[in-house]
Amino acid sequence: MTGYSDRINHAFAFAAKHHDQQVRKGTRLPYLTHPANVAVILTRYGCAEDTVVAGILHDVVEDCVRDGWTTAMLEERVGGKFGLAALAMVLTVAERRTDDDGVELSVEDRKEDYLQRLAQASEDALWVCAADNVHNANSILSDLRRTSFPETVWGRFSAGRDGTVRWYARVSARLTEIGFAAPIVNELAHAAAELARI
């Protein structure tokens, strides 16, 4: 089972520097709590170090893609430090702003593109996808259970309550559809069902 390593520590330091001053949507929690929890989830399931590193760096890479970094820049600045395998894992499950032809994608098209590209992702990349969504969905559930004003939680999301609930159900269904049968998919399906129930 993966535990502490210098490489994982380095990935946390790199992510902390990148996410400095960022907070979780609608909260005062440092953004780093999200990749840290993704790493904990992946470690809990016994994932390999490359996968845990990819989980820690997934939003760093997604932010860089959003900011227009080229593949060469990512390979040099992220792949060079943490390995091309971890970078490739994240790139296959990162939401893109443009398609392969450089055409800008609408918000809805980005979601569709993300779901479609999961079919080409490696099993390790699917673990990163699932852990990311498990933590996000469970964070929303925790916040909803702690408040008397659920509209303040749902108000954080441009898709609103229905769109947000539907998203986690769609990711769970898509992972099942493409044959990813790891137990984490059940955890995501349960979180999605709880969101729909609340």
Task: Convert the pLDDT of each residue in 66-93 to its tens digit.
Answer: 787 888 999 999 999 999 999 999 999 9
Domain ranges of the chain: 6-197
For the segment 168-192, the average pLDDT, to the nearest whole number, is: 97
For the segment 104-125, the average pLDDT, to the nearest whole number, is: 94
pLDDT band (50, 70, 90) for residue 23: confident
Minimum mean pLDDT among 38-47, 71-80, 113-122: which range? 71-80
C-alpha–C-alpha distance, residues 175 and 187, integer Å: 12
- pLDDT higher than 60, residue 18: yes
pLDDT for 91 equals 92
pLDDT for 62 equals 87
pLDDT for 2 equals 58
For the segment 185-195, the average pLDDT, to the nearest whole number, is: 97
* Residues 6+ positions from 46 with CB-CB distance below 8 Å: 1, 2
pLDDT for 29 equals 79
C-alpha–C-alpha distance, residues 170 and 154, integer Å: 18
Between the alpha carbon of residue 105 and those of residues 69, 120, 130, the distances in Å are 17, 19, 23
- pLDDT higher than 60, residue 165: yes
- pLDDT higher than 60, residue 169: yes
* Angle at which helices 49-66 and 84-92 cross, to 10°: 60
For the segment 107-135, the average pLDDT, to the nearest whole number, is: 96
Yes or no: is domain 6-197 CATH 1.10.3210.10? yes
